[in-house]
Amino acid sequence: MIDDVNRTAGRSYGQFCALARALDVVGDRWNLLIVRELLAGPMRFNELKSSLAGAASNLLTDRLRDLEGNGVIERQLGDVGVRYALTSWGTELREAMEALGRWGAPLVMKGRHGDVFRARWLVPALPGLLRGATASPPVELGFEVEGSLVALRIDEDGPRAEIQPDERPSTVLSADPETVVGLAAGALTIEDAVAAGRPQGDVDVLRRAFPPGRRWPSPRPWAG
Amino acid sequence: MIDDVNRTAGRSYGQFCALARALDVVGDRWNLLIVRELLAGPMRFNELKSSLAGAASNLLTDRLRDLEGNGVIERQLGDVGVRYALTSWGTELREAMEALGRWGAPLVMKGRHGDVFRARWLVPALPGLLRGATASPPVELGFEVEGSLVALRIDEDGPRAEIQPDERPSTVLSADPETVVGLAAGALTIEDAVAAGRPQGDVDVLRRAFPPGRRWPSPRPWAG
DNA sequence: CCGCATCCTCATGGATACTG
DNA sequence: CAGTATCCATGAGGATGCGG
C-alpha cells in the first residue's frame, strides 16, 4: 500500500501513435481476453475467474481496475453484487478482436492440444469468422457444446451470436468443441460437422449458414 | 544457455480459441509494434531498435526470433546484411491493427504528452483511420513531418500510404506531428490542418482527401 | 557501424493462502 | 462472493561487451 498513485496500466510505450496508445490500454496480458468474455454479456468476478483459468485473482483485480479506470469496462453495483460490463467504447473493440480472431483462426485449425474451452468464447468468434455473411430470410440455428447452447442468427445485417438464448432454435447441432471451432474456422465443412455431431432439426438450415467454398484468403506455409 | 528448447513465445493462454491463439503469437509486449514498423517495409535490426526506443536490444532479439519462429516475419539475408520483413501471413495482421488503431484514435486526440513520434507510423495509421474512403479520379498527396515524406493515395480501392515515395506528390502539406495525427484521427478539420501547417500545391486536393463531416461513431465519455 | 550476447536490477506476473 | 496479502519466478529495461 506504499504508492497506489500512477497505477494506470503497466508501462506506456510513450509513442504518439493510435495503435500504441490502444496497446497502452488493452495490450497488457489478459486484457483482451477479459473483453472477449464481456462481449458475450456482463459477468461476475468469480465467473471471470473461472472462465479465465490461469489468471490469478489478484491479477484479475488489477486488470479490471485498469480497464475500468480507462473507460473500457464499468462496475455495475446491482442488488445481487458486482457485475462487470463493457462500456460503449469497450464494445467497439469487437471489430478489432474479430479481426484478430480471423487472423488466428488457422492456429486453431491445428487442433486442440489439451487447451480448455468455453462455449461463451464462440459468441464473438462465430460472427467474426463468418464476417460478411448475410441471409434473407434470416437463418437461425444453435450449437450445443459441452452442455451450453449458443444461438447464431444471420440476417441482412450479418451474423450475431448469443449464449444461452431465451428460446432454443428449432435447428441445433450438438457437437464437441473441436467440431464447432473447426467448422467456424473453415477447417471443416458443414457436412463434416454434421457427420461428427448430432444434428437436430433441419440440416438444410445448417447448410445455408455454412455454404461450401469458404477458403483461406492466402496459403499458409506452416499449415502442414 | 541452459535450455533454449521450448522457447516459443512466453506463456500460452492454453485456450482453444482463435483470439487466444493469436495473442499467444502476437500478444507479447512490443510484438504488434514490431509488426507496425514492418507494415511500412522491411527494416534492419538497428532501425527497429531506434524506432522502438525503449525496447532493449536483447528483448528485440527475442521477439524477432519468436515472430520468425511463428511465421509472422522472416529474416532476409541480403548482401547488405539482415533485413526483417513480414511474411504474407504477417501482412494479414494489417486489418486487425487498423481496427485497433481506429479504436485508439480518441486517445491520440487527447494530445501528445512528450511521446516520441515517427512518420513511418503514419503508413498503417492513415489508411486505417480513413478506412472506407474512396476517390475517383484518385487523389494523391503527401505529408511532410519532421523531415520525412509520407505519400497518401486514395483511389477506388481505398487509401494506401507509403513512406519516402519515389516521386514527391504535387500537393504536400508540411506540418508537425500533432497536426497530421490530429487530422487523421478526426480531431482536426483539413482547414485547421492547413492553417497550422504549410501547404504546397493544390489545397483542394487536401480537401478532397479529408472532406468535412467525419465524426466519431459514438460519444466518448472521457473525451473532456 | 551492425547484430546481437551477457549481466544486472527491479517491476510485473503468477500461485497460494487468507479475509471481510 | 469478491476480493487482499504474501511470496516467488519470470520478464522487461538499461548498460555494456564483442566479434564481424
DSSP string, A161-193: EEES-SS--S-EEE--HHHHHHHHHTSS-HHHH
Average pLDDT over residues B173-180: 97
Q: A144 or A220, which is more confident?
A: A144
Band (A190; pLDDT cuts 50, 70, 90): very high
How many Å apart are CA A153 and CA B49, to the nearest integer?
Answer: 47
Could you give the angle at the alpha carbon of A11 between the alpha carbons of A6 and A17, nearest 5°?
Answer: 110
Phi, psi of A214 (to 5 degrees): -70, 130
- CA A116, A120, A124, A128 dihedral sign is positive
Q: In the prediction, which pLDDT does A157 show?
A: 96
Q: Bridge-partner residues for A155, per DSSP?
A: A158
Residues of chain B found within 8 Å of residue A109, distances taken between Cβ atoms? none
Express as a percent the part of chain A with pLDDT over 90: 79
Average pLDDT over residues A3-21: 73
pLDDT at residue A47 above 50? yes
Consecutive H or E run containing B65: helix B57-69
How many Å apart are CA A113 and CA B24, to the nearest integer?
Answer: 14
pLDDT at residue A224 above 60? no
Average pLDDT over residues B184-210: 94
Q: How far is the CA of A3 from the C1' of C18 (A)?
A: 23
Q: In the prediction, which pLDDT does B28 show?
A: 93
How many Å apart are CA B46 and CA B208, to the nearest integer?
Answer: 38
User: Among all residues of chain B, which has the CA nearest to that of A87?
Assistant: B221
pLDDT at residue A219 above 80? no
Are B135 and B208 within 8 A, CB to CB?
yes
Q: In the prediction, which pLDDT does A19 show?
A: 97
Q: In the prediction, which pLDDT does A5 show?
A: 38
Band (A172; pLDDT cuts 50, 70, 90): very high
Average pLDDT over residues A126-146: 95
Band (A214; pLDDT cuts 50, 70, 90): low
**Residue A86, SS3?**
strand
Pairing of strands B158-163, B148-155: antiparallel
B18 to A87: CB separation less than 8 angstroms, yes or no: no
Band (A215; pLDDT cuts 50, 70, 90): low
Q: In the prediction, which pLDDT does B26 show?
A: 96
How many Cβ contacts (< 8 angstroms) between chains A and B? Answer: 189
Q: In the prediction, which pLDDT does B6 show?
A: 36
Phi, psi of B16 (to 5 degrees): -85, 80
What's the Cα-to-Cα distance from B13 to each of A54, A144, A147, B102, B175, rounded to whole Å?
Answer: 8, 24, 23, 26, 44
pLDDT at residue A6 above 60? no
B25 to A88: CB separation less than 8 angstroms, yes or no: no
Average pLDDT, chain B: 89
Q: Where are the beta strands (DSSP E) in chain A?
A: 73-78, 81-86, 139-145, 148-155, 158-163, 172-174, 198-200
A23 to B99: CB separation less than 8 angstroms, yes or no: no
In this structure, which amino acid lies at residue B184? A
Q: Retrieve residue A216's grid coordinates.
A: 483461406
Number of H helices, E strands in chain A: 10, 7
Q: In the prediction, which pLDDT does A10 show?
A: 66
Average pLDDT over residues B203-220: 76
Please identify which residue in the block is written with the cell numbers 483485480. A61
Which bases on strand C have an atom closer than 7 Å to a protein beta carbon? 1-7, 11-17
How many Å apart are CA B203 and CA B172, to the nearest integer?
Answer: 9
Average pLDDT, chain A: 89
Q: Retrieve residue A89's grid coordinates.
A: 467504447
Cβ of A218 near strand C (distance < 7 A) = no
Q: In the prediction, which pLDDT does B7 show?
A: 41
What's the Cα-to-Cα distance from B172 to each of A25, A138, B82, B128, rounded to whole Å?
Answer: 33, 49, 33, 20
pLDDT at residue A146 above 80? yes
**Nucleotide D6: nearest residue by CA–C1'?**
A58
Are A27 and B29 within 8 A, CB to CB?
yes
Tell me: the pLDDT tens digits for B113-167?
Answer: 889 999 999 999 999 999 989 999 999 999 999 999 999 999 999 999 999 999 9
Are B120 and B131 within 8 A, CB to CB?
no
Band (A27; pLDDT cuts 50, 70, 90): very high
Tell me: the pLDDT tens digits for A60-104?
Answer: 999 999 999 999 999 998 888 899 999 999 999 999 999 999 999
Are A173 and A200 within 8 A, CB to CB?
yes
- CA B184, B189, B190, B192 dihedral sign is negative
Phi, psi of A71 (to 5 degrees): 85, 15
- Side-chain half-sphere CA neighbours of A19 within 13 A: 30
Q: In the prediction, which pLDDT does B218 show?
A: 44
Q: In the prediction, which pLDDT does B10 show?
A: 65
- CA A22, A24, A25, A29 dihedral sign is positive
Q: A108 or B213, which is more confident?
A: A108
In this structure, which amino acid lies at residue A46? N
Q: A164 or A219, which is more confident?
A: A164
Q: B111 or B30, which is more confident?
A: B30
Q: At what angle do helices A122-129 and A177-185 cross, to 10 degrees?
A: 30
Protein residues contacting strand D, judged by Cβ under 7 Å: A 1, 11, 44-47, 56-58, 61, 64, 75, 81-83; B 10-11, 28-30, 54-59, 62
Average pLDDT over residues B40-64: 92
pLDDT at residue A221 above 80? no
Q: Bridge-partner residues for B143, per DSSP?
A: B150, B173
Band (B217; pLDDT cuts 50, 70, 90): very low
Q: In the prediction, which pLDDT does A3 show?
A: 36
Q: In the prediction, which pLDDT does B212 show?
A: 83
Average pLDDT over residues B178-193: 93
How many Å apart are CA A116 and CA B63, to the nearest integer?
Answer: 26
Q: What is the pTM of this model?
A: 0.92
Q: In the prediction, which pLDDT does A1 show?
A: 33
Q: Retrieve residue A146's grid coordinates.
A: 459441452
